[in-house]
Amino acid sequence: MMYRPLSEEEYRDLASRILYEDNHLLVVNKKVGEIVQGDKTSDEPLTETYKAFIAQRDVKPGQVFMGLPHRLDRPVSGIVVLAKTSKSLERLNAMFRDGDVKKVYWALVCREPSEKERLLEGMLWRNEKQNKSYICRPGAVRKDAKLAKLIYRYIDKTERYFLLEVELLTGRHHQIRCQLADMGCPIKGDLKYGAPRSNPDGGISLHARRITFTHPVKKEPLTIEAPVPASWKGVR
């Protein structure tokens, strides 16, 4: 199979965003605006881009395997784990499904939370037409609602925004965006959930910062961290 040739600039950029790699895994730092798998747009997903990268780097004439065990929304940046073998993909799928992967995000929010640390827990339901999630209000019963839990911790503040670390305890659609907005702290740039203005890059200031799991083949503990985008002024 022939993959598209990468320019020298694109090749260097893709190489610089590799956070971890071995024969089984490839962990990369996704940019805002990139999609991780194909959708209704004609944009190339990250899986295909890194297939082309590996084919070019390793001079592989045949097909490159690249499996995707989890998702990261288009306007979000940060860690994406890719599987380079079917064995690692199968095991990673099970680990993500069973909650054996610890995911920590950083979020810049528009308002300081009233508490420095808190467990947020509620029932979320997804409006498919709007591609948006909502919290069920007391007394409201929906069969399609699912329990959503996260813990946030206040870390720091910039000139105009507040930095929170968020540990996901469940993995629901737009969970962090919805639950932080519901407590009055929408994420910077997230117009859909109440932010007053958009970000110049069209994304939101939510970043998959750190991931911890057991290597699916080597059975060794792994913790991987991704630097925040350069646009996060005052945050490192």
**Strands 206-214, 221-225: pairing kind:** antiparallel
- Per-residue pLDDT 10s for the chain (236 aa) are 788 999 999 999 999 999 999 999 999 999 999 999 877 788 999 999 999 999 999 998 789 999 999 999 999 999 999 999 999 999 999 999 999 999 999 999 999 999 999 999 999 999 999 999 999 987 677 889 999 999 999 999 998 999 999 999 999 999 999 999 999 999 999 999 999 999 999 999 999 999 999 999 999 999 999 999 999 977 76
pTM value surpassing 0.85: yes
Q: Which long-range contacts (CB under 8 A, 24 or more apart) does 40-46 make?
A: 46/80, 46/82
Q: Any idea which residues carry the catalytic annotation? A: 73
